[in-house]
A and B are shown apart, each in its own frame.
Chain A
Amino acid sequence: MAQPSPAAKTERLLNLVICLLYTRQPLSKARIRDAVPQYGETASDEAFDRMFERDKDELRELGIPLRIEPIDSFFDDETGYRIDRREYALPEIAFEPDELAVLGLASRTWQQASLAGPAATALRKLEAAEVERDTESLVGLEPRVRTSEPAFNPVKDAALRRQAVSFTYRKAGGEATTRQLQPWTVTNWHGRWYVTGFDLDRQAPRVFRLSRIDGAVKRLGKPGAYDVPADHDPLTMIDGTDSRETMTATVLVRNGAGNTLRRRARQHTDEDGEFTRLTVDFGDTEVLADEIAGFGPAARAVEPPELVEAVLRRLRGSIERNGAA
Chain B
Amino acid sequence: MAAPESATARLARLLTMVPWLVNRQGIDIARAAAELGVSTDQVEADLALLFVCGTPGHLPDDLIEADWDGGRVFLRNADTIARPLRLGLDEATALIVGLRALAAVPGLDERDAVDRALAKLVDAAGDASEVSDRVKVALAAAVPSDTLSTARAAVAAHRRLHLSYVVASRDETTERDVDPMRVVSLDGNWYLEGWCHRAQDVRLFRLDRVASIETLDVDGTPPTGARPRDLDTDLFTAGPDDLRATLQLQPEAAWVVDYYPVESVERAADGTLTASIRAADLTWLRQLVWRLGGAARVLEPAELRDEVAAGAAAALASYDA
Query: What residues of chain A have their CB less than 8 Å away from a CB belonging to chain B?
Result: 6-7, 9-11, 13-15, 17-19, 21-23, 34-37, 58, 61-64, 85, 87-91, 93, 95-96, 98-103, 105-107, 109-110, 112, 115, 118-130, 137-146, 156, 159-160, 172-175, 183-192, 211, 228, 234-235, 256-260, 262-263, 290-291, 293-300, 308, 312-324
Contacts and interface: CB of A to CB of B under 8 A. Distances in A.
Given A141-B152, A296-B311, A259 B166 contact: yes
A19 to B, nearest CB: 5
Nearest to A19: B56
B197 interface: no
Contact of B94 (A98, A118, A127, A191): A118
Nearest to A153: B90
A13 B11 contact: yes
Contacts of A211: 258
B128 to A, nearest CB: 9
B183 A322 contact: no
A92 to B, nearest CB: 8
A61 B189 contact: no
Nearest to B35: A124
A100 B121 CA distance: 11
A22 B64 CA distance: 13
Contacts of A107: 94-95, 98
B52 interface: yes
Given A125-B84, A140-B155, A260-B168, A61 B8 contact: yes
Given A10-B10, A145-B137, A300-B315, A110 B98 contact: yes
Given A187-B138, A211-B258, A315 B98 contact: no
B315 A315 contact: yes
B16 A144 contact: no
Contact of B287 (A122, A184, A228, A294): A294
B293 A298 contact: no
Contacts of B171: 257-260, 295, 298
Interface string B130-154: 0111111111100000000000100
B4 interface: yes
Given A128-B23, A263-B166, A19 B182 contact: no
B198 interface: no
Nearest to A323: B309
15 contacts: A10-B11, A34-B56, A89-B84, A119-B94, A123-B95, A129-B23, A140-B152, A185-B136, A191-B188, A293-B291, A300-B318, A308-B319, A314-B293, A318-B309, A322-B312
Given A106-B95, A293-B293, A294-B287, A156 B135 contact: yes
The 7 A-B residue pairs with the shortest CB-CB distance, nearest first, are A317-B294, A191-B187, A106-B98, A140-B155, A314-B293, A190-B188, A191-B188
Contacts of A58: 8
A106 B99 CA distance: 5
B239 interface: no
A191 B84 contact: no
Given A11-B52, A128-B16, A319-B313, 17 more contacts: A14-B11, A14-B15, A62-B85, A93-B123, A98-B113, A103-B117, A103-B121, A112-B231, A128-B22, A138-B110, A141-B152, A143-B105, A183-B134, A187-B137, A188-B137, A263-B173, A316-B312
Interface string B192-207: 0000000000000000
Contacts of B11: 10, 13-14, 17, 62
B291 A291 contact: yes
B198 to A, nearest CB: 16
Contact of A105 (B80, B102, B316): B102
Contacts of A64: 85
Contacts of B209: 260, 263
Given A6-B7, A103-B117, A141-B183, A322 B136 contact: no
Contacts of B156: 139-140
B182 A141 contact: yes
Contact of B297 (A18, A88, A300, A321): A321
Contact of B54 (A15, A88, A321): A15
B92 to A, nearest CB: 7
A320 B294 contact: yes
Interface in B3-51: 4-8, 10-17, 19-20, 22-24, 36-37, 45, 49-50
Contact of B309 (A89, A263, A322): A322
A294 B99 contact: no
